[in-house]
């Protein structure tokens, strides 16, 4: 689908869950990863986004910087930094407080690393990101402003199609912000059942904060796969707006 948004990417949330909506896939008998990467490729994103916990493993495998960035005592301006504009793809890391140490790693399997920060990050972290060749942008003072973040991803990097593959809180925050256009859900033949386990979408708030009556999901396709997994695709629109 062509991007209908002039100022931001078309955003797809691509996830795997049990039939009861949980996303802790490693403790299921079903091989929840079997179809995930193939369909990720089929969805045709030019960027993918994950949260700090998922990206921690990639950052941990980075080579350290050859030397620490020099600190000249001059405060670092909170300005977006674009290290690469013409990458074949982009790996977007949500890291509001600047906790991930990317060292000298500025790509993940060829996809250029772009870090989404808030203005609360320390100056030394920004110096390290510049020295390591990563790009970064600011979206919010202390909490990520997702609507602003996706607009900047298009304006700075030309990203037209973004795959969001986060945890439940990231997915939920983006749904609440009204920036998820489509859900690609692999429903695995498994029941998790453990109370408190993260779900595809999690919200911090009261019952009145539910998106159940605020977002309309229109089924676009339903494809049974060979191991009992079902691939569902839903178009998501705010209630009152046309799909």
Hey, what domains does the chain have and what are their CATH numbers?
1-46+160-243 (3.40.430.10), 51-65+74-144 (no CATH)
Model pLDDT, residue 243:
47
Q: Does pLDDT of 32 surpass 90? A: no
- Mean model confidence pLDDT for the chain: 94
CB 216 within 8 A of CB 240: no
Nearest Cα residue to 59 out of 97, 101, 95, 113: 101
Model pLDDT, residue 70:
85
Nearest Cα residue to 189 out of 222, 221, 230, 223: 230
Where would I find the beta strands (DSSP E) of the chain?
10-17, 47-50, 90-94, 107-108, 111-117, 135-138, 161-164, 182-187, 215-224, 230-238
What is the number of other CB atoms lying within 10 angstroms of the CB of residue 130?
15
Q: Does pLDDT of 237 surpass 80? A: yes
Q: Is residue 226 classed as helix, strand or coil in its secondary structure?
A: coil
Q: Does pLDDT of 235 surpass 80? A: yes
Model pLDDT, residue 46:
96
Residue with tokens 């399997």: 109
Q: How confident is the model at residue 71 (pLDDT cuts 50, 70, 90)?
A: confident
The tokens of 4 are what? 């209908």
Model pLDDT, residue 242:
53
Claim: this prediction has a pTM higher than 0.75 = yes
CB 55 within 8 A of CB 169: no
pLDDT tens digits for range 170-219: 999 999 999 999 999 999 999 999 998 999 999 877 888 899 999 999 99
Secondary structure of 160-213 in HEC code, one letter for each residue: CEEEECCCHHHHHHHHHCCCCCEEEEEECCCCCCCCCCCECCCCCCCHHHCCCC
pLDDT tens digits for range 127-139: 999 999 999 999 9
């Amino acid at each position: 689908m062509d991007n209908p948004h002039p100022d931001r990417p078309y955003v797809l949330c691509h996830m795997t869950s049990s039939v009861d909506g949980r996303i802790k896939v490693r403790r299921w008998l079903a091989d929840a990863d079997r179809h995930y990467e193939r369909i990720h490729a089929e969805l045709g994103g030019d960027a993918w986004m994950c949260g700090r916990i998922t990206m921690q493993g990639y950052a941990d495998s980075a080579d350290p910087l050859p030397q620490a960035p020099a600190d000249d005592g001059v405060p670092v301006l909170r300005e977006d930094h674009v290290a690469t504009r013409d990458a074949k793809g982009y790996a977007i890391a949500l890291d509001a407080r600047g906790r991930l140490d990317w060292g000298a790693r500025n790509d993940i399997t060829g996809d250029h690393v772009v870090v989404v920060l808030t203005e609360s990050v320390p100056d030394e972290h920004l110096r390290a990101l510049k020295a390591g060749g990563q790009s970064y942008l600011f979206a919010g003072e202390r909490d990520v402003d997702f609507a602003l973040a996706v607009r900047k991803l298009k304006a700075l990097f030309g990203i037209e199609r973004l795959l969001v593959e986060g945890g439940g809180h990231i997915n939920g925050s983006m749904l609440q912000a009204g920036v998820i256009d489509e859900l690609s859900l692999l429903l695995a033949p498994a029941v998790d059942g453990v109370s408190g386990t993260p779900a595809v979408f999690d919200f911090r708030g009261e019952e009145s904060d539910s998106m159940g009556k605020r977002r309309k999901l229109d089924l676009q396709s339903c494809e049974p796969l060979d191991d009992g997994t079902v691939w569902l695709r839903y178009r998501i629109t705010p209630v009152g707006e046309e799909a």
